[in-house]
Amino acid sequence: MSNVSSAPEAPAVPHPESTVAPAAGLAQPLGAGVVTALVGFTSAFAVVLSGLTAVGANAAQAASGLLAVCVTQAVGMMLLSYRYRMPITLAWSTPGAALLASTGAVAGGWPAAVGAFALAGVLIVITGLWQRLGNLVAAIPVEIAQAMLAGVLLPLCLAPVQAVQSSPAVVVPVILVWLVLQRVAKRLAVIAAFATAAIGSGISIAVQHRQLDFAAMVPSVELTLPHWNWQAMIGVAIPLYIVTMASQNIPGTAVMKSFGYEVPWRAAMTVTGIGTMVGAPAGGHAINLAAISAALSAAPSAHPDPKKRWIASFTSGAGYLVLALGSAALVTLIAAAPKGTLETVAGLALLATLAAALTGALRSEQHREAGVVTFLIAASGVGFLGIGAAFWALLAGLVVRKVLTHRD
């Protein structure tokens, strides 16, 4: 991984990527912004809910956490895109949520998890202000970071297979729709899978005459006083920080650079770190620079003129504010849905990320053993001393890599 350097705080002038069409109006970037918000939300909200629930959140706290990350990333991207006139898109940390799902209950329960979220935000802010810490994270070997992520994702990606046994009537159509859309319209595959799951769940709820708690569908914020203990700091905060930086923030700057934009590193880390800290008491785990979805607002399809694409990111932020209002309703519907529905959507959404992580982990033949060791320990979910498997996987992978490098 390349070193992180502090980018200039003044907005860079993007290189012209295409001939600017004078007639292009606001409809194009506005539409791109709406699509960015819808794709980002529907493709990964299930992962966020799974992660928050796994580390101890109840239904109301999980809904509050989803609302918190929606609002903090929305405000953050609106501020950054308007200030720097760049399509700077933010997202919640999907790999971070997957990490939480694999970590499970932590010592100290939900308050300790909230404390870990806040600490991760502090570390992100420090990264923006102190270049050496950013360089240290960027120096983690790519095969180790990707192997840890792949191990974290594996149990989640196995969930659709397991759910076929428990709820075949709902899960099988979801998988089939996802597969067909992968062939004809890949970008819409996860959205279509979610829509199919919603329809199937609705039919199941109606047939079985289940009662929905409509009062619980009203969006609300559930505040939790953070609690700090060393197990949560080492087992949750540090891996959450590392996976967010290595899998989101650093790749996010590279994606933006490919479209001619130099992200203001210090400002971006400060905004996302403070946003993470502010959202933590409400259950938000982490926000960061978008990586994959960043292209939806930064590409020429958002607007022929690179100087006007910031409108797409600003619109995406406004879209997330609207979507945040539906967080409680989603959690209520999912609670009444057949077993395995949420896990199926989350697993399908993460398959592409798992494939990319495995490719990165095993690409280097010289360090393949270290990558495999890291992957297996992370996938095992087995922790020690109250610290989750992700931390031990990272530590073991670095040790094995060092030992075998000396051998060679």
CA angle 94, 100, 101 (to 5 degrees): 90
Q: Spell 102-123 as b/e; 16+ CB within 10 A means b.
A: bbeebbbebbbbbbbbbbbbbb
- Residue ranges of the chain with pLDDT lower than 50? 1-23
**Domain boundaries, given as residue ranges, for the chain:** 28-407
User: Given this model, what pLDDT does residue 18 score?
Assistant: 41
CA–centroid distance for 361 within its chain: 19
Q: Is the pTM of this model over 0.75?
A: no
Q: What is the 8-class DSSP label of residue 8? A: P
User: Given this model, what pLDDT does residue 13 score?
Assistant: 42
Length of the chain, in residues? 408
**Residue pair 389/382 in contact by the 8 Å Cβ criterion:** yes
User: Given this model, what pLDDT does residue 138 score?
Assistant: 67
* Beta-bridge partner residues of 90: 289
User: Given this model, what pLDDT does residue 276 score?
Assistant: 96
**Residue pair 88/256 in contact by the 8 Å Cβ criterion:** yes
Strand segments (E) across 83-147: 90-92
**Residue 253: its H or E element:** helix 250-258
Q: How far apart are CA 283 and CA 272, in angstroms?
A: 15
How does DSSP assign 132-176, residue by residue?
HHHHHHHTS-HHHHHHHHHHHHHHHHHHHHHHHHH-HHHHHHHHH
